[in-house]
Chain A
Amino acid sequence: MSGLLSKHGMILVLLALCAFFSAVTYREQSPTGAAAGRDLASAISKEFQGTPQVLIVARDLPEDAAFAAELEKAIRAAGGQVVATVKGEPRDAREAILKLVAVGTKIDFVAGTQTTSEWLVFENLAADFPTLGDPKVITPRSYFWPNFLKADNLLNIANQIAVIAIVAIGMTMVIITGGIDLSVGSLIALSAVLATRFIRDAGGAENASPMGMTLACLAATAVCGLIGSFSSLMITRFAVPPFIVTLAMMLVCSGLAFTLSSGQSIYQLPESFVWLGRGADLGLPNAVVLMLVLYAIADVLMSRTQLGRYLYAVGGNREAARLAGVPVERILMFAYIACAVLAALGGVIMASQLRSGSPTYGNMYELYVIAAVVVGGASLSGGEGHMFGTLTGAFTIAVIQNGMNLTNIESYTQKVVLGLVILAAVLFEKMRHR
């Protein structure tokens, strides 16, 4: 247990954060759908003796339609009368009411979901439309549940962090070798622009075939891989510090992305391009599935293979590794190319999520990615770190960002909190090495 904690202590912090945000986002939830409709109908019949005249108000959404249909059926079955059913916006509700006023119908209840009952059109019904009688606004019984723990939100978090988490795999390898890659943010932008330009100019724009899109994305990834190999060559052959090389490449790639896109976003893409970023074939979003698969592969690679051991060896003590016969240069090249390729993949996913490519993507992402790796327990001096930790680190950042959005913390404060977290993580890493 203690061994596990020492390796994965961050997960405790992550769980504590989840518990914290669950507590602070514990809110009233407004039920909708068929069950809520039945519930409301029985409340109406309990409330009103005789034949209640009911106006049903729902939005134009599938779950609201089910709610309205079930409610109408149940009210009719109980002997009530549904004078009208509104499906749409406040404006539609107003029109329906005006129609009822015109024919002089009286209503006893306005039945709707929590959301529709909040519409201001119902605020002063009796005063605004005196001929309606004295209608009461009624909604299904609400229940309490944390917004944070809604299934939609948890998927949301995973989806939001997928790009950063995938790029962080490559960054973990680079940081384990004792290096750093500042160019990943720009590579995300470059790859998004390249992939979307290839699709627009060579793949047939809106009519591109799945094959064409795949090739375009592979080509973009290959170009970024070449850039990664160029950086690694500078680092290994010419012994330029990785910080400088990748800082330079960050500027180069960002400039290229702006040039190739003329500073505009490229959006002439087929609808099916969003499959990778927004599809969910296995219940989970495809990008999240891809992220999990990549982490599984990376974890095996780092912990079970010779390549993984060499990466740690190079980062732990490069000279010793060289003397022990580790091909240091090849290992370093592998790390930087893998990092560039994964950044390119992140760019493709982002382009797919937003169905467009723009040179402004990935701005500051290198910092979030490095933060995820460091919060996950990797040492910036190399030789230490693991994939599971990085994944935890990425999720920690995502949970903090999402939680702060859900608890209405404004942007300025969000930056302060996130900065403090990163600083605390680095302090921790210093203390570990004392």
Chain B
Amino acid sequence: MRRAGSYLESWTVGTSVTGTSQAEFTLIVSRAVILLLIQISGAAMSESRTQLPGPTRQFRPMQLVLGLPMLLAMFLFSGCGTSDVAEKPKELKAVRPTKKIGVSLLTLDNPFFKVIGDHITSAGKENGYEVTVVSGDKDVAKQGNQIKDFIVQGVSAIVLSPCDSKAIVPVIQEANAAGIPVFTVDIPCNEPGVKITTQIATNNLGGGREAGEAMIEALGESGGQVAVLHLKQVESCQLRAQGFKDVIEAHNAAGKAKIEIVAELESGGAKDLGYKATEDILQSNPDLRGIFAINDPAALGARAALEKAGKAQQVKIIGFDGQPEGKQAIKDGKIYADPIQFPDKMGDQIVDAIVRHSKGETLPPQILIPTSLYRQADAAKDTELQ
């Protein structure tokens, strides 16, 4: 970026200098704070030796026991951060101090979101952004606080996957009022009164269609009865089931070997509930030939129930997601195929959208990432699986 002559040149040089001196300043201050605390506690200790034990005695160990580990921990963790800052200005010569992206994801316990976060961080770095990824821990109040902290920092963009699309509205409005562009990833927020620059998500309807095609392929000439393991309260899963049914209906309408959806049960998207639901389905439909589960845990639960009932060969499973455990199961032949999602692409696309927005391009309100069908042959080639 070109900047005006002397007035701003001094400013630009200034930043590279302050970048380093600020890091040094930080180190010096934090060391000073720790030393001060040691001195206070030391003085208090020596005082206690000469004096009778009095009320002062109570506060002495605190500086040591409480203050030191706390500050040391903080010193260590934030120390890593500041040393980064110190190196950047040298690398990028005299460019601006880094622009920031604040990211608050639904949770980081799920590898899916971890991958999204990691990719935003790496793609952001390539484009000169410093990225902070925090976990909302499915707690909308916590996520709200994190976003308010991002606003105070004056980040260039906020990325979130809302913990609760409705309750997060006032917080997004605060970001809108501060003029910070807001992007959602994976989970959209379609409430009135909020301005979201663009929403990035998996094409769940298309993924459901792929699952339907995989099911037709798995059952072959004979067709037969199939069941759906659902997670009805989640919109993305409704779309997956919808896409699946569309393809099956079209297949039946074309007069090919009929595939009949005999059951649609709630799986909770979890192994234990998927297991129970599959046991129930098998009781009423002993001739079942296929199961479509809206995610990998439900599919794995179904597989366990089939193995217990001795029907693992008879019933083919189609999952969804492509989590590592699901991919391994496909490799082992336990699941026939998965339409897999691409959290890595989601992360990269988010950064791309932020850059395009900043360049003044008009973005579509929604960017859908297509899924891709992952079969045993793909798993055999997958280097990430042992």
Q: Which residues of A are at the interface with B, using a C-beta cutoff of 8 A? A: 2-3, 5-6, 9-10, 12-13, 16-17, 19-20, 23-24, 26-28, 30, 43, 46-47, 59-61, 64, 89-95, 109, 115, 117-126, 134-139, 141-142, 144, 147, 150, 152-153, 156, 160, 163, 263, 265, 267, 274, 278, 350, 353-356, 358, 360-364, 400-414, 416-417, 420-421, 424-425, 427-428, 431-432
User: Smallest distance from the beta carbon of B280 to chain A beta carbons, Å?
Assistant: 22
**In the complex, chain B residues 126-175 whose Cβ is within 8 Å of any chain A Cβ:** 130, 132-135, 137-141, 144-146, 148-150, 152-154, 156, 163-164, 166-171
Chain B neighbourhood of A355, CB < 8 A: 167, 169-170
Residues of A within 8 A of B362 (CB): 91
- Please classify the interface of chain A as helix (H, G, I), strand (E, B), loop, or mixed, using the class held by over half of its residues: helix
Least Cβ–Cβ distance between A239 and chain B, in angstroms: 33
Interface residues on B, range: 35 or more
* Contact yes or no, A120 B108, CB < 8 A: no
| Least Cβ–Cβ distance between A401 and chain B, in angstroms | 7
* Complex-state Cα separation, A416 to B70, whole angstroms: 10
Q: Once the chains bind, are B134 and A61 in contact (CB under 8 Å)?
A: no
Digitize B272-284: 1 where CB-to-A-CB distance is under 8 Å, 0 elsewhere: 0000000000000
- Known A-B contacts A278-B170, A410-B132; the reply to A24 vs B156 at CB < 8 A is no
Known interface pairs A23-B25, A120-B355; A28-B15 also in contact (CB < 8 Å): yes
5 residue pairs bridging A and B, Cβ less than 8 Å apart: A13-B66, A16-B71, A20-B33, A156-B148, A409-B78
Verify if B285 is at the interface (C-beta below 8 Å from A). no
Complex contact A59–B179 (CB within 8 A) = yes
Bound: A136/B6 CA distance, A: 12
Contact present for B8 and A138 (CB under 8 Å): yes
Apart from A24-B29, A94-B361, 5 more pairs, CB < 8 Å: A17-B70, A17-B71, A156-B149, A413-B77, A424-B66
Q: Residues of A contacting B55 with CB < 8 Å?
A: 2-3, 6
Q: Measured between C-beta atoms, what is the minimum distance from A264 to chain B in Å?
A: 8
Which residue in B69, B99, B166 is a CB contact (below 8 Å) of A420? B69
Question: What are the residues of chain B within 8 A of A123 when measuring CB–CB?
Answer: 1, 359
Judging by beta carbons under 8 Å apart, are A20 and B71 in contact? yes
Shortest CB-to-CB span from A223 to chain B, Å, is 21
Query: B359 is contacted by which of A23, A90, A136, A362 (Cβ under 8 Å)?
Result: A90
Is B73 part of the contact surface with A, judged by Cβ < 8 Å?
Answer: yes
Contacts of A3 in B (CB 8 A): 55-56
CB atoms of A30 and B59 under 8 A apart: no
Neighbour of B73 across the interface among A28, A59, A360, A417, CB < 8 A: A417
Q: Is B358 an interface residue (CB 8 A)?
A: yes
Q: CB distance A9 to B59 under 8 Å?
A: yes
CB distance from A199 to the nearest CB of B (A): 15
Do B357 and A407 have beta carbons less than 8 Å apart?
no
Chain A residues with Cβ under 8 A from B163's Cβ?
A: 360
B29, B56, B168: the one contacting A23 at CB < 8 Å is B29
Q: Contacts A360-B139, A427-B65; is A91 near B145 (CB within 8 Å)?
A: no
CA distance A12 to B70 in the complex (A): 13
Q: Tell yes or no: B18 within 8 A of A by CB.
A: yes
Q: Of the candidates A115, A144, A358, which one forms a contact with B154 in the assembled complex, judged by CB atoms under 8 Å apart?
A: A115
Within the complex, what minimum Cβ distance (angstroms) separates B183 from chain A? 13
Q: Is the CB of A408 within 8 A of B166?
A: no
Asked, given contacts A2-B54, A6-B59, A355-B169, whether A120 binds B359 with beta carbons under 8 Å apart, the answer is: yes
> Which chain A residues border B71 with CB–CB below 8 Å?
16-17, 20
Q: How far is the CA of A316 from the CA of B134 in the complex (A)?
A: 42
B residues less than 8 Å from A412 (CB atoms): 108, 135
Q: Does the CB pair A152–B152 fall under 8 Å?
A: yes
The minimal Cβ–Cβ distance linking A52 to chain B, given in whole angstroms, is: 10
Closest CB in chain A relative to B84 CB, distance in Å = 9
CA distance A424 to B57 in the complex (A): 18
- CA separation between A265 and B166, bound complex, in Å? 7
Closest chain-A Cβ to B4's Cβ sits at a distance in Å of: 4
Given the interface contacts A90-B358, A153-B152, does A361 sit within 8 Å of B66 by beta carbon? no
What chain A residues lie within 8 Å of B156 (beta carbons)? 115, 118
Which residue from A91, A137, A406, A420 sits with its C-beta under 8 Å from B1? A137
* Most chain B beta-carbon neighbours within 10 Å: one of A28, A46, A134, A147: A28
B385 within 8 A of A: no
B61 touches A428 (CB 8 A): yes
Which of A2, A30, A122, A401 interacts with B145 by CB under 8 Å? A401
Q: At the interface, yes or no: B360 with Cβ under 8 Å from chain A?
A: yes
User: A137 and B4: CB pair below 8 A?
Assistant: yes
Q: Quick one: closest A residue to B96, CB to CB? A: A118
Check B178 against A61 for contact (C-beta < 8 Å). Answer: yes
B30's contact among A23, A89, A142, A420, by CB below 8 Å, is which?
Answer: A23
Q: Are A13 and B358 in contact (CB under 8 A)?
A: no
Q: What is the CB-to-nearest-CB distance from A113 to chain B, in angstroms, rounded to a whole number?
A: 10
Closest chain B CB from A4 CB (angstroms): 9
B133 A411 Cβ-Cβ under 8 A: yes
On chain B, the residues within 8 Å of A92 by CB distance are 360
Known contacts A89-B357, A115-B154, A126 near B56 by CB under 8 Å: no
B11 at the interface (CB under 8 A from A): yes
**CA of A406 to CA of B65, assembled, Å:** 25
Residue of A nearest to B114 (CB): A412
B26 interface hit (Cβ, 8 Å)? yes
B137 contacts which chain A residues (CB < 8 A)?
Answer: 363, 411
A156 to B149: give the CA distance in the assembly, Å: 8
> How far, in angstroms, from A30 to B178 measured CA to CA in the complex?
14
Q: Which residues of chain B are near A121, meaning CB under 8 Å?
A: 358-360
CB proximity of B358 to chain A, nearest CB, Å: 4
Closest 6 CB pairs of A and B: A94-B360, A9-B59, A23-B29, A2-B56, A405-B149, A121-B360
Q: Nearest CB to that of B178 among chain A residues?
A: A61
* Complex Cα spacing A283 to B99, Å: 32
Residues of B close to A400: CB separation below 8 A? 70, 74
Known: A91-B362, A354-B141, A431-B65. A409 touches B33 (CB 8 A): no
What A residues does B11 contact at CB under 8 A?
141-142
**B23 to nearest A CB, angstroms?**
10
- Chain B's closest residue to A58 (CB) is B179
Determine whether B5 belongs to the interface, using a CB cutoff of 8 Å to chain A. Answer: yes
Interface assignment of B58: CB less than 8 Å from any CB of chain A: yes
Given contacts A13-B62, A428-B65, A431-B61, contact A405 B82 (CB under 8 A): no
Residue A405 contacts which of B15, B67, B139, B146 (CB distance < 8 angstroms)? B146
A10 & B62 in contact (Cβ 8 Å cutoff): yes
B2 sits at the interface (CB 8 A): yes
Please determine whether A410 and B360 come into contact, CB atoms closer than 8 angstroms.
no
Complex interface: chain B residues within 8 A of A93 (CB): 360
